[in-house]
Every structure is written in C-alpha cells, then in structure tokens.
Structure 1
Amino acid sequence: MKILYINTLYEPFIGGGAEITIKHLVTGIRDLGHEVKVLSFWDKKDSEDLINKISLYRAKIPNLYLPYGEFEISFKKKLLWHFFDIYNPKSKKIVSEQVKKFNPDIISFHNLYGWSSSVWEVVDEFDIPAVQVLHDLYILCPRNMFKNGEVCDRQCFTCKVARFPWKLKSRKLEAVVGVSNFILNKYISLGYFKGVPIKKVIYNSRNIENISLEKKVDPKYINFGFIGTLSPSKGIELLLKSFHKVKKKHYKLFVAGSGKKDYVQYLHSRYKDDSIVFMGRVDPKKFFSRVDVTIVPSVWYEPLGMVVVESFAFGTPVIGSNIGGIPEMITADVNGMIFDPFKEGDLEEKMLIFEKRILEWRSKYESIKQSAKKFLDYKKWINQWEELYKLVIYKR
C-alpha cells in the first residue's frame, strides 16, 4: 500500500502527543513494507527529504504563522489565522499536488491546524479513500473547547457557524478513528462524520524500549509529580494551588515540562516554594524515578493523555481528572485514583488519601506496570492500523 499521512507538524517539530504518535505509526507501517509519505507544515520554503525511508514533504504554511513554539500571538492575528483556516484553497492545492505526485492508495488525516476543511475535498476529486484520526477537538472548536480557563460544555453558536464546513465535508470520508471512546462519541453526538461507514476507536500506543527503572524516591517524603506541557488547560495551576493547601513538611512536588515563556515565569514566581522542584524539560526516566505518583490534573477534554500510559509503564500510579479520555485508562485503587477537577477540594482529598496508603502504593510497582501492557503492544497496534487501511481500501 501507498499511504499519505497529513498532519500539521512532524518531527523534530513536536507540538504534542499527536506528533509522537504519528512518528511511531508511520515508522511501524513503513517497517511492514508499505510505502509512506508525510505531508506537514513549517515556516520555511517547501522542502522534500527522504528520512529513514520515509518521504517527508514540508510545505510553507499558507497562513499568518506556524502554530508552534513558545511565542505569544496577538488576538487580532489569531482571529485572522482562524478565519483563513475555515476554508483555505491554498492548503487544498498543496495536498492536490502531492496526491498527483505520490498517487496514494489511502490518505490518513491527523491534526489539521492550518490545512482547513478544504483538504477533505481532495478525497472526492481524486476518488481516494481517507481516514480521519481524531487527536483533539480542533475540528469542533479553534480553542479545543477550552475558553478563558474553562472547559466548554457545549459547542457555542460561533463555533457551530465557523465549523459548519468541517461538519458538512466530514461525510466525504470512509473512516473516522478516535484515540478514545470519549473523543469519537463527542464528534458523533454533534453530528459530525454522518454516514461515514467505519467508526472505531484505536487507542494510541508507544514503542517504549528498556522501561526498567530504578526508583530513587526519597522515602522520607511523599513525592508528587507532574510531567507535561505547562499550560492552563493541563491544570498545572489547579495542582499547584491544591499542593499549597495540603502541603506538609514531608511533601514534595516535582514539576517537569515546558510551556510559553511568560506563563512559565508566572508559575515560578507565583508558586515559588522550597518543596516544589521545577525540573524543566527532562528525560521521563529522570522524572518517574523520583516520584511516588503522577498527577494528571487536566481541566480540558484531554482526548487520551499518554502521560498516563508512560507513568504506568514506569510502575507509577496516577491521580487523574475525570474529564475526556483519562478515566478510560485508570482503574481505581488498582493503578490510581480519579478526581473531579471542578469539585472544590477533591484533588486535595485524593492527595491526602494517597499519603495514607503510601506503603501500599509503593508495593504495587510491578502490578501497575502491567496496566500499561495493552497500550505498549506496539506490534498489535501497528497491525490494527494496517488492517484498517486494507479494510477501507477494499471495502469500496
């Protein structure tokens, strides 16, 4: 098979978990002997390279800026960017030219920031079957249904209007795949992908090698941890506020990750405390070796949250919010606990309960690692995707 993958970014430009997932997926499908090509954006002149037997075409994004990096964008510029991204004929032209050149058997669409709804028209024009993979809620809302620090419980009128072209054109696809039941059901409940014959969930996987880990936690402390992007939607402030409320002399909080410069500086100054260690961006092993529990306090609709899987893979339990796809991964009292991020004091309560059972949790190292197995069966995951591609192609 010849498969064309389309995403906003591709390594080394990593905007989030989607880019990591796509890299693993493309590499795995290539290793099965299929011909693959990746089409992505950057902010330079168009460039085509062959990297590890993967053909990669980076097009200069036909919009005001590349949605990547830690720089601040003015409200006016963001507004114009999203206006152009409703329907951008230049994006469609880029995809059309690559389809003519590569002649794929199937197109696998992923994150479409900057590509706009126009690219779905290529499916009809070239009569090529296509799969849309749902990694987030951007197709429903430019803000991923997270506005002014709060999650949107419904699609507002403005988003309904601005996203109507996406909703209408979503019917052109042969398959839609959610990385969790939550995200697939969210789209379907709002009328997207109506009439699409194949709708299914394929949980993300990771090809994590050598996941043995020597725990170096200081037993004199209860070592809480956070790893990920430092942004409001990830709930980092909820965690920092909760930690300050329950903090005891034997509590420590390790915060690993990076974010926009101004926001990170604000966090450092606002929550400065000797018991809080801001580690910056670090190797996950360095982080997980030092913590007793990973806290995933997302306050937006986290589609899946692969940090949960990584934590389990290193034998570390998770206290996770009950929003998005996170609850699909956590089994209470087996590999972690669930809390309501919108219920006052619930996270603090779970942190205190964790302390009471600290010896029990520390003894669960091996059993928690077992929780990650279904997400770490990389070969099975790649085979699922290969089977789906074949089904989509031959079902027509």
Structure 2
Amino acid sequence: MGREPPQLAPARGPGSHQGSGVAMRILIANSGHPATIKGGAEAAALDLAHGLSERGHGVSLVVHHPGRGHETWDDGGVRVHALPNRNLYFGFDGRPHAAPARLAWHALDGANPFMAAAFGRILDAERPDIVNTHALPGLSQLVWREARRRGLPVVHYLHEYGTMCPRGSGFRDGRLCERPCTPCAWLTRPRKALSRLVDTVVGVSRFTLDRHLAWGFFPHARTEVLPNLFRDFHRPAGPRRGAAELRLGYFGRLIHDKGVSLLIEAVRRLPPQGWTLDIGGTGDPAFVDALKAAAPANVRFLGWTRAADFFPCIDLLIVPSIWPDPQPRGVFESYMHGVPVAGARSGGIPEQIDEGRTGWLFDPTPESLAALLSARLGTRDDRAISADALARRLERLEPGRVIESYEAVFEAAIARRRAAA
C-alpha cells in the first residue's frame, strides 16, 4: 500500500504461449475488482485476466478503489493496481447523493485528468503491448488518450451502455431511448469524442455494439462481438427428464427492469394447476414483499441460491427483462445445466436463443409470456429440446475457444497499430 511506486517491472514478460502467436503484455482496465465492487463486468474482467495469464501472457489489471493510496497485489498471476478514487465521492459506495453532486460526478468522470495521470504512470511502469478496457466508471474514458499518447492500441469491451448513457441503460420510463436526452448528450460528449481513439470495440452482443455505433460512438474502431469468458464453463451432466408439472424458474436480481413483475403478472393468467415457479434471487425488501403479495400460491421465493442447486430443479428458465439486457449470464448457466430458456425480445437476449431448439422468445409483455407458457403447458415441448442444439450453442462458450478469439483481436490491433506507426 502507499503512494504510486515510481517503477515496476512488466508483469510476467513474454514466455511460452499456447495460442498461435507470441505472448503479449496485456493491461486490462475496469472500474473495480470483485473484492471491492460486486458486478458482472468486474467478474468478467478478472476471469479474462486469469484466462490470458494461464495462456502465458503477462497480464496486469488496473481498477480503482475508495482508499487513499495506490495498492498493488498479485491475484493468481495477475498483477492488480488499485488506484485511489479522485472524484467527488466513490461512485460505488451505495450511498444516496443529491442530483447536483451526481451530475458533477459524471461530468468529471467522463474526462478525469487525475485518474488519467495515475493511469499513465501505470502504463509507463507496465509497458504493455495492448490496453483492453472494460467498464470505466471511476477510471474515466480519458485513459484512452493516455494509451494513444504512448502509441498503444486500445480494445474496448462493451458490457453495457455506461459509455453512451450515465444511467448505464439507454432505457427510461419503461422504454428504450431512441436518442440521448439532453443531460445524457451533455454528460457523454467528452466520452464520445474520446471514443474516436479506440482501435477496436467489442460488444458482448450485436445489439449492444450497434446501439453505440448508432449514437455516434467509436467511429474509427474495428468491431467484433465476443461473449464473456465463463471460467466455470461445463456441459450438461446428462439427458434431462421433465417433471409431471412444468417447473418454471427465474434466476437473478429482483428488480423491476429485469421483468420479474411482468413474470408474476404472466403466471397469474395461467391455470392454477400444472406448473410451479421458483424464484431465486434477492432485491429490495419492499419490492420483494410486493411480489410475494401478488404471486399465486405455487410460486416459491428461494432468496439467494446457488446455480448448481437451482437449475437441476427447473424445466424452463424465464428471462423476462424489459430493459435492453446486453447478455444475461443466466441464459448460458441454464444451457450448461441442459435447461431451455424462454427469453424476452429485449437487448441481446434474442441472440442467445435458437427459437424452438434451445428455447423460445416472447414480447416483453405479460400477455405474450402467458401465451408462450400456456403453449408449453399444452405440448410440454421443453422435453424435446435437442441436446445437440444445446451443445452447438455451448461450443461458442468453450473457454479455450473464447480466449483464442480475444487473442486474435488483440494481435490484430497490435499489428495495425505497428503498421500505422
């Protein structure tokens, strides 16, 4: 702990690399480490860092934290640099802040010179071949300029919509935003300008990528679509047999935008027999109490539960998001347990489901979902889901294959930058 060290040796210099190219020095930047910030991007960035390190690359991870000094530690072969927060407050402290303070926080975060200077010192110490950025709240998009000043290629990964929308969703009042509102346009203007410096932008889904491009972000970048790396990847243990009753499941946070209220409204329209619904997840107690009060008797609220305990007990996962969910992890977890998915036509969800082969799609309304579930009750075609179709879908998530795709993207960006230089 303490202040920024003046110099560090590069993290795990080039060595044996199991892929097609030579080992790279890769610097990954993300808002936080899972030890400080509990989020999907944090877990995904660390999983990617570990996967690349195990392939023989020298990997460092830059995050920020609420402390006062620059902290450095080793995390399974990945050198972690945790930079102290240099904004009005730590944006992930869970505390309410007045609207003027939030506006000021976002205005500074879009081009924060204090975080950029600290990030530049890490670049000089680590001397990476490439910079791979992920979610950047707290670190600032100004880190892209620091990389470009040093002639380093930047590959940015889009987990969600935080670059184009301070709310992180591009979704408001139950509707998809067709264009940025005035506050968003003002607050994201520096981010849009800085996005011109990104060499390659990778979307977790085609929908997420195309939304950014449609709003004018990343105008000069090459584009790719790649899934997150699933370190806990596995294939179904064996063939499944559906129960006599259709066992439905919901797995995730209990919040309005995830569509759990829509799900409760839909099952209220079903016959009282022939199905059950297990809901695994937690949320605001008042919201959960309202859900319980509205739910039919054959709905069980399990609270927090492990995926390994949840999925073997259901026949069909419901993903009823009403916001443009980029790539719900629960869909892939369901496939890994051999369970088909009924997903809303929202965000990147349709890209994850092969209609009639790995699941079904519905419009994000109670009526559409109720109609789909009624059809499943009548035919029980969840039992006929093809194991081969699930296997083909899971092939795209095989960790070695995913890592090789990332390596190819990084190597191509390095080659283009060197050619330009």
Choose the corresponding residue for 2:346, options 307, 323, 334: 323
C-alpha distance in structure 2 between counterparts of 1:162 and 1:26, whole Å: 30
Q: Secondary structure at the match of 2:137?
A: coil
**Alignment match of 2:367 (pick from 322, 335, 345):** 345
Of 271, 296, 312 in structure 2, the residue corresponding to residue 289 of structure 1 is 312
The answer to whether the Cα contact below 8 Å between 2:29 and 2:131 also exists between their aligned partners in 1 is: yes
Partner of 1:312: 335
Matched with 1:142 is 166
**Residue 190 (structure 1) aligned with residue 211 (structure 2):** no
Q: Matched residues in 1 for 2:285 and 2:97: separation? A: 13
The 3 A distance-change label for structure 1 pair 217 and 20 is farther
Task: State, as a whole percentage, how many aligned pairs show the same letter.
Answer: 27
| C-alpha RMSD over aligned residues | 2.4
1:90 corresponds to which residue?
114
Q: Name the counterpart of 1:361.
A: 382
Give the CA deviation at 1:67.
4.3
Matches within 5 A, 1:146-295: 146-196=171-221, 198-213=222-237, 219-246=243-270, 248-268=272-292, 270-271=293-294, 273-295=296-318
- In the alignment, is the contact (CA less than 8 A) between 2:158 and 2:204 conserved in 1? yes
Stretches (4+) displaced over 6 A: 214-218
Q: Could you tell me the TM-score, scaled by structure 1's length?
A: 0.91
Cα deviation, residue 243, structure 1: 1.7
Q: 2:142 pairs with 113, 118, 130, which one?
A: 118
Residue 13 (structure 1) shift: 4.4
CA distance in 2, matches of 1:383, 1:134: 19
**Matched residues in 2 for 1:224 and 1:70: separation?**
33
Unpaired segments ≥5 residues, structure 1: none
| Structure 2: segments with no counterpart, 5+ residues | 1-23
Quick one: structure 1 residues 286 and 214, their matched pair in 2 at CA, closer, same or farther if it must change by over 3 Å? farther
Helix, strand or coil: the match of 1:345?
Answer: helix
Residue by residue over 1:217-263, the C-alpha shift from the partner in whole angstroms, topping out at 9 and shown as x without a partner, is 88243211111122222111111221223252332211112234554
8 A Cα contact 1:7 1:40, kept in partner: yes
The answer to whether the Cα contact below 8 Å between 1:217 and 1:290 also exists between their aligned partners in 2 is no
Q: 1:335 aligns with which of 358, 366, 377?
A: 358
Report Cα offsets for 1:262-284 as digits up to 9, x if no partner.
Answer: 5445434x435532222222110
Distance 2:56 2:240 in 1: 42
In 2, Cα distance between equivalents of 1:151 and 1:232: 15
Size of the aligned set, in residue pairs, is: 392
Q: TM-score, with normalisation over the residues of structure 2?
A: 0.86
Equivalent of residue 370 in structure 1, options 360, 368, 391? 391
The equivalent of 2:3 in structure 1 is none
